[in-house]
Amino acid sequence: MIIFGIKNCDKVRAALRQAKVEGKTVQLHDFRVDGINQVLVDAMLNDIDITQLLNKRSTTWKQLDDGAKDNINAGLLVMHPTLIKRPVIFENDQYRIGL
């Protein structure tokens, strides 16, 4: 299992704890440390609709101009990984949000 997010995010830390309690082998992919690219975002979007993956409650979203908000796409998520809801879980060859 791979948990994607940011290591200081409360929801990501909770997901890591829960996975360990369940005895799962887990790896953290921190967007800020490990990065993110178009291939990874596209893979996530194959399993998760962009409207579900996009975190409109984030500070980053609130700081975007209206033009960027009107043109939501994978490139926007690559440029601003904190717009991705956390945690994103990759398990059994599928991406999903949360545990």
Q: Do 97 and 87 contact (CB within 8 A), yes or no? A: yes
Catalytic residues: 9
Asked if 80 contacts 60 with a C-beta cutoff of 8 angstroms, the reply is yes
The phi and psi torsions of 84 (rounded to 5 degrees) equal -85, 130
